[in-house]
Amino acid sequence: MDRSDDWLGQGRGELAAARDLLTGGHWAWCCFTCQQAAEKALKAALEHFPAGRPGHNLNELRQAVEVHTAVPVAIQEACARLNRYYIPTRYPDAFPSGMPIEQFFERDAREALMDAEEGMQFVGTTLGSS
């Protein structure tokens, strides 16, 4: 059973939550939520093709998608940037000192949101459900 619409819908919901986190000043959590939205979008593509959904690494998920369709360089770069937000946005021991909420700023969150939106649009177009 193809559940790509479910994965894409969940990703879109997380993208909406990321927008709220940005406006609320929760920048680290916004960055992480953008990574999660992109992960769900890539897993939607992999569900559609069908090619499985290995792990959480956006670079590996993107490479699995590339077996089935060309992924523009801009999306490759967006995945690489968002991939960096999986761990350090949540765990204090990702840094020598300080909390993640002290390490991320509004600009980080805005860029993460743009990257996640681009990725979501790419997958939506690829699946024909923009």
CATH code of 86's domain = 1.20.120.330
The amino acid at residue 84 is R
Do the Cβ atoms of 110 and 5 come closer than 8 Å?
Answer: no
**What's the whole-number mean pLDDT along residues 38-55?**
90
How far CA 86 is from CA of 13, 67, 89, in Å, comes to: 18, 24, 7
pLDDT at residue 54 in the model:
77
Q: For residues 50 and 28, give the distance between their C-alpha atoms in angstroms, rounded to a whole number.
A: 32
Cα–Cα distance, 62 to 72 (Å, whole number): 10
d(CA 98, CA 45): 37
Q: What pLDDT, on a 0 to 100 scale, did the predictor assign at position 38?
A: 98
- Please report which confidence band the pLDDT of residue 2 belongs to, taking 50, 70 and 90 as the band edges: confident
pLDDT at residue number 107: 98
pLDDT over 90 (residue 1): no
Domain that holds residue 107: 4-127
pLDDT, mean of residues 34-58 = 92
pLDDT at residue 130, as a whole number = 60
50 pLDDT tier (thresholds 50, 70, 90): confident
- Residue 20 CB coordination number (10 Å): 11
Looking at residue 53, what is its pLDDT? 67
What domain count does the chain have?
A: 1
Do residues 100 and 28 make contact, with C-beta atoms less than 8 angstroms apart?
yes
The pLDDT, as a whole number, for residue 94 is 95
Q: How far apart are CA 114 and CA 10, in angstroms?
A: 18
62-114 per-position pLDDT tens digit: 999 999 999 999 999 999 999 999 999 999 999 999 999 999 999 999 999 99
